[in-house]
Amino acid sequence: MAKNNKIFIYVIISIWVIVGIVALILLRGTPEESPNLSQANQSQKNTNTGSSVEADWENVGEIQGEMQTLVFDSSDGNIAYLSTDGQGIYRSHDGGLNWELLGPSGKTFLDLSIDVKSGRIYASEIRDGVVFSDDNGVSWEISSLQRGEAHVAQVDPRDPKVVWAGYWLRGNTGPSLYLSKDGGKSWVPTVGGPQGKEIDFVKFDEESKDTYVGTYSGGLFKTTDDGESWKSLNSGLNTNTDITIMKWTKDKSVFYVGTHDFGTFRSTDKGQSWQPINTGKESATDVHGLVVDPNDPKTVYVAGMMMGKGIFKSTDMGDTWKPIQAEGVNLDDVHVFELNPEQTHIYLGSGEHGEGKGILYRLKI
């Protein structure tokens, strides 16, 4: 009898164990039925919707000094100049593949422009102001505008006697924008418009009389009479930042500007109004480089200093963006981002976070 009671108890216990296991399985469900796992998978899919663009960056070489500006001679695409912080000027005779350091050491050239008719090179130097070279960058002379902290030095390709000089005031008083009409022999400050605001760039439309000036905390301006009068082009722009760069399509039907804090903007009415275009690169707000593909006006590239997310490409005029892969390239500190005259490669100058040097790369487009 006692033996039968033990068997009965074992059977009851076994039944309860089986029932418990079945109930546990039913309560937990299968992995496919788990709502938490399904949500996690969906979240992972949502965070990986933007695929990157394959790119093969060619390492051109190391440059001593933090790179500032790269310019190609439009009359001879093999000739290029690269300005640096503290090391002076580099020159290339083969379209940017090889570089020789010209110096002078200790000089920081921020901006460069070339008068293709005479070969004279103008540059802005942070201590000497506007300087120029008549021997292909080997030696430099200080212009009559001997005022330091020059940020912009641009010769007008439509009339090489006209040269513009722009300054960052940094709290100082005095004019910020000057104009010379005799090749830098004499200078006068402009009146109105961007005057008194820190100057980021001067850009010319060679097919018209339009000259554009971008400023820090002042917006974008246009003149058609060498600064005698100005028009503000800030509808839709946030002017409480740097307007760092401006580019347009070959037919000038679409304008783009980059800003220091608010990303990229586009205009389809020659700057009369602007729309932000940052979908897909919302975190990339500090735009200092911008290239429009000359063979495909819908394709645009942007890059910048401390963007964190690198370089982006759009194939729909900026409506959407995808990051460009650049394994082994420091994309957190892009200083140079230019298209060569043959319109075959983008050159990228990457900094090394205070190391006093950088790497120059190029990408075939």
Peptide bond into 104 cis (omega under 30): yes
User: Across the beta sheet with 312-314, what order do the strands follow?
Assistant: 289-292, 300-303, 312-314, 322-323
Q: Count the Cβ atoms, other than its own, within 10 Å of residue 353.
A: 10
Structure confidence at residue 353 (pLDDT): 55
| 278-308 confidence digits (pLDDT tens) | 998 887 788 989 999 998 999 999 987 654 5
pTM flag (> 0.85): no
Residue ranges in the chain assigned as alpha helix (H): 2-28, 35-46
Instruction: Provide block-wise average pLDDT over 10 residues at a time, the chain (365 residues).
Output: 45 48 43 30 32 80 92 93 94 95 92 95 94 95 85 97 92 86 95 93 97 95 97 93 94 95 94 95 84 93 70 95 80 84 88 75 89
- Predicted confidence at residue 285, as pLDDT, reads 81
Alpha carbon distance 276, 279 (integer Å)? 9
CA–CA dist 268, 248 (Å, integer): 10
What is the pLDDT of the chain when averaged over all its residues? 84
Instruction: State the pLDDT at residue 352.
Output: 66
109: tokens are 């050239």
The Cα 272–Cα 281 span in angstroms is: 24
**Which pLDDT score, from 0 to 100, does residue 240 have?**
84
Residues 97 and 60 sit within 8 Å (Cβ to Cβ):
yes
Assign residue 43 a region: left if phi > 0, alpha if psi is -120 to 50, beta otherwise? alpha
> How many whole angstroms separate alpha carbon 25 and alpha carbon 282?
45
What pLDDT score does 354 carry? 57
Quick check: 73 and 65 in contact, CB under 8 A?
Answer: no
Q: Per-residue pLDDT tens for 43-67?
A: 222 233 357 776 788 999 999 988 9
